[in-house]
Structure 1
């Protein structure tokens, strides 16, 4: 079996939620449906017994329609007669049974329109057509929606959004290499066009504009996504836009379901399975199927099942593992709170001091462990990251054990102040929930290439001067999570996350070419002048402990001081910071011996902060004459 067949087989796990050794026999097998350009697409039609005029559900797939003979989706399996719909499964133009169709100027939306024309003309069909499918099978539904076929009644796109965008391939300016490899293996052949356009340009702008059309939606949709899916951020944006820009008569008939699910297609987890990565969500099992059935029955069969009273948004709260609903078009919380990076690997509600440094080595990159991946060699979903703690090529920062639950809904971001010894680097972020047993369960992750800190065009590109400090924003995808009492909020910062994302050679050279990897020391500054922090949407009390109090006495003299300040203590302090009364750092350094020079300070009152290796801080005020 070749790579395409293998990966297509894996992808089919997306669509089948019941397995059987029996096989279905289509009523029409390998029937060729004529297209308006004179070509034809291969299809299988499954008709339940006793059906003489039934409504149809259309599935358009690039993963081989023959696989549906093993069982239909939505839990049907081989029990075709237990449900009322005709299923029409069509191979995409250029794939499998439709491989012979001309691929010049392909318009998959028009192909879907032509299929709907053919279905509507059949004697066994009633009058309405629903569409269903995940990933690519969801994307093509949006293309059909844009053609406005009169019999296309409703759609269920899953883990999919319609837009072909720069950041969906270059998240934070970094190629999501593993996913692009997988898409190539599935036969999409995207690498040539993606790799020819590694900077944002008019080409990307045109592609994004022409594939983003919430204002073209004229039918009801049930959009289904997962918090561990790589499309979740784009899905949340598109849903909000569809609620505000769809045809006025159907704006209130756009529904969103977000569960604790991965994208699927690799591994055993899929949309609707209870097992997701290393976690299990029994109360989320097959909720997607149940809601899809109610949705289809309401619109295709005119069922009096009260679907119209369903809340527009149904979403799962990770951590608390509970379902919620909302009537809004967006569940993001506007209010935010900051946690500042501090010495001793702390996250605190107070501004930090000093800085922290690690070495990023492209020849030995920090490995990907789970996440919103799409590649057969990578785990998918939430996985424990604690194996990374033994590595020296990263930093971690965490709160103390929380004294009450902390919840977030929206897009978490990090503002970091970075310097490096080479002209370019990446900042990879992993956000985790540290359990009381020490497991560090991944919630979400992101990355940013420093040369793109100002934007993604060639004119935005700006390299680093070694030793100079630069501000960079690292955005994480939309999430909904609650850290429970006794747990900790923790982040990992590293220079790479491989093989999910491309590894930066750090030499400032041309990207995505074979060059010699160069190690770089990356310093994250986290003092009052450079307040590196994580910003969390939510309405929470103080998220973390303040600086740890010291019980070891400290004496400083003379006070007032002129030239030097003497420190007398039994504590093992390693570093110091001097701040003026506005909080501005005016001096800092390593504490060598017992003397600190204050000769260069202007007259006035100052605050001396002393810190040990564990991040314990002692403060003393003094006067400079």
Structure 2
């Protein structure tokens, strides 16, 4: 998710290791050599209950620490491993911090779920974190370290040589990176909420996710000059590609169960990773993937909607154990006979008025069969399935970087998230609300959503933002998806694809809103909101055309236009499906 400077990371590691340093050996060292006697290394007091600490040596000699939890009885057993930057022991000093003790108990409880199922569970600190050596540079070493760690686990006396990887978020990223390295003893993985590419996720449409990327790093004490370096890294390059699933998933040879959330920050990744591996992956991966998508985010949802029983997700659940039982133990439990895709078709979900049309559906692939339906923007701010006939039509507004549109929900990590009510954004000239009439029947969609926007600006560069919104009969404007595009990256983010805009000349910009599955119920309205800012979710474009991270020119007010005529048919493009129960 977020790259951290080596200097800042090294400082944090030094403090962490200093707090948990091994006892001094001065008395032994003071004795004559002949008098010295071997002494057993004292057990590290910070371990969660039931854990034994072990060290794996990486190819460069760096030692990574892990907690090993073994089942009762006599092994060897198959192994499930998680590689974490969030400390295998929780907080270092549980005696001074009661929360630390509770965290250790939670870690032990998580491990017990695996050991009760007959697996050794290995929880490893990644390089430069917790008890592990080396310097922490987020996700830069996890290809090689993941390979070496899996192979280390396979060689241990308690292991039968079959290893699975599991984890969510950062631990999902480390699992994917290890899988790309294709260690011979890695058999399967269970990955929860992980991206496809960090570049595409952190800079959606070429626009930096300001609060979740820069804000999170700043909270970790990263220096401002280092943050500015991150602001400049918008173009694609070899360093981004090295850990990118889009470039390297072809090397994966194992079955992976991907689990994601419709409101999650990694929505796109779980779906895209499944799609490629299931349909184009290498032998061992192709045809052996699973996908589950539910109505949850990267944390509890904010706002007035809720999905009881469908919005919670935990690692170590029965579905995960079934997955590993099949692949690591060879148990014929029927999981591979089930459809590859399970997803929640969302519907009306206001608190106290939950619709029964929220339901679990299954599919042979993702996306399910659909047809694209275009809802065209009209000058009166309606959405219509009829293509525009006017020779000229547009709406213009002034985009002032000093007065950005505020963020209200979305696929956020560090602040309020999910399907919040967009009525919190008052009427303003730079926030365009387009919507259909009240629907006379349900409209169900499953798959990728995009906006084909013909936009213009009076300067060299600007941003356009789009939101898919479900408008309830009582007026609640539930945010479903939102995404931006920076105009200069409309052709791509390879260095030779960057193009400034010609002032006041409309061009087509495709905004990828990612995937969803939702039924817009009868009586609701389908809405598209268009603007140029969404702060602090996204970085505000100064509209100057300066290179990313530069601040030499003062921000300028841009006049931006959205075209909607016969030659420039701006449209919301929805993947409409017709499941049998949606026809009723």
TM superposition score normalised by structure 1: 0.73
Tell me how far apart the structure 2 counterparts of residues 380 and 487 of structure 1 sit (CA, whole Å).
Answer: 22
Q: How does 1:471-620 map to 2 (within 5 A)?
A: 471-514=508-551, 515-539=553-577
Q: Deviations over 1:556-594 (max 9, x none)?
A: xxxxxxxxxxxxxxxxxxxxxxxxxxxxxxxxxxxxxxx
SS at match of 2:131: helix
Residue 345 of structure 1 aligns with which residue? 381
Tell me how far apart the structure 2 counterparts of residues 537 and 105 of structure 1 sit (CA, whole Å).
Answer: 34
Tell me how far apart the structure 1 counterparts of residues 539 and 139 of structure 2 sit (CA, whole Å).
Answer: 31
Tell me how far apart the structure 1 counterparts of residues 280 and 473 of structure 2 sit (CA, whole Å).
Answer: 45
Aligned residue pairs, count = 508
SS at match of 2:461: coil
Q: Is the 8 A contact 2:303 2:421 kept in 1?
A: no
Q: Deviations over 1:190-209 (max 9, x none)?
A: 85764443334x53685477
1:304 is displaced (CA, Å) by 3.7
Cα pair distance change 1:414/1:84, threshold 3 Å: same
Tell me how far apart the structure 2 counterparts of residues 348 and 176 of structure 1 sit (CA, whole Å).
Answer: 32
2:146 to 95, 98, 112: 112
Tell me how far apart the structure 1 counterparts of residues 126 and 309 of structure 2 sit (CA, whole Å).
Answer: 35
Q: Deviations over 1:94-149 (max 9, x none)?
A: 11211446989964233233333333333333342221101221122122223333
- Which residues of structure 1 form unaligned runs of 5+? 9-22, 270-274, 542-625
1:397 to 409, 412, 434: 434
1:261 aligns with 2:302: no
Cα pair distance change 1:187/1:253, threshold 3 Å: farther
Q: Is the 8 A contact 1:419 1:466 kept in 2?
A: yes
1:218 is displaced (CA, Å) by 2.1
Cα pair distance change 1:117/1:338, threshold 3 Å: closer
Residue 53 of structure 1 aligns with which residue? 76
1:299 to 321, 324, 327: 327
2:202 to 158, 169, 189: 169
Tell me how far apart the structure 2 counterparts of residues 108 and 344 of structure 1 sit (CA, whole Å).
Answer: 52
Q: Deviations over 1:486-516 (max 9, x none)?
A: 1100111111111121101112333332342
1:309 is displaced (CA, Å) by 1.4
SS at match of 1:65: coil
Q: Is the 8 A contact 2:322 2:333 kept in 1?
A: yes
Cα pair distance change 1:199/1:106, threshold 3 Å: closer
1:36 to 37, 55, 59: 59
- Which residues of structure 2 form unaligned runs of 5+? 1-7, 14-46, 91-102, 348-356, 580-584
Residue 369 of structure 1 aligns with which residue? 408
| Bigger relative contact order, structure 1 or 2 (CA pairs below 8 A, ≥6 apart) | 2
1:56 is displaced (CA, Å) by 2.1
Deviates more, 1:178-187 or 1:419-428: 178-187
1:25 aligns with 2:49: yes
For the pair shown, which has the larger CA radius of gyration, 1 or 2? 1
Q: Deviations over 1:245-271 (max 9, x none)?
A: 33434423211111112134xxxx2xx
Deviates more, 1:507-516 or 1:487-496: 507-516
1:211 is displaced (CA, Å) by 6.7
Q: Is the 8 A contact 2:441 2:523 kept in 1?
A: yes
Q: Which has the higher strand share?
A: 1
Q: Is the 8 A contact 1:222 1:256 kept in 2?
A: yes
Residue 394 of structure 2 aligns with which residue? 355
Q: How does 1:203-222 map to 2 (within 5 A)?
A: 203=238, 206-207=241-242, 212-222=247-257
1:439 aligns with 2:476: yes
Tell me how far apart the structure 1 counterparts of residues 86 and 279 of structure 2 sit (CA, whole Å).
Answer: 33
1:70 is displaced (CA, Å) by 3.2
Q: Is the 8 A contact 1:24 1:78 kept in 2?
A: no
Cα pair distance change 1:518/1:297, threshold 3 Å: same
SS at match of 1:416: strand
Residue 604 of structure 1 aligns with which residue? none
SS at match of 1:241: helix
Q: How does 1:41-120 map to 2 (within 5 A)?
A: 41-50=64-73, 52-67=75-90, 69-72=104-107, 76=110, 82-100=116-134, 107-120=141-154
Q: Is the 8 A contact 1:405 1:483 kept in 2?
A: yes
Q: How does 1:218-233 map to 2 (within 5 A)?
A: 218-233=253-268
Q: Is the 8 A contact 1:54 1:86 kept in 2?
A: yes
1:251 to 286, 289, 294: 286
What is the RMSD of the two structures over their aligned residues, measured on CA atoms? 3.4
2:455 to 393, 399, 418: 418
Q: Is the 8 A contact 2:206 2:489 kept in 1?
A: yes
1:197 to 224, 233, 242: 233
Q: Which has the higher helix share?
A: 2
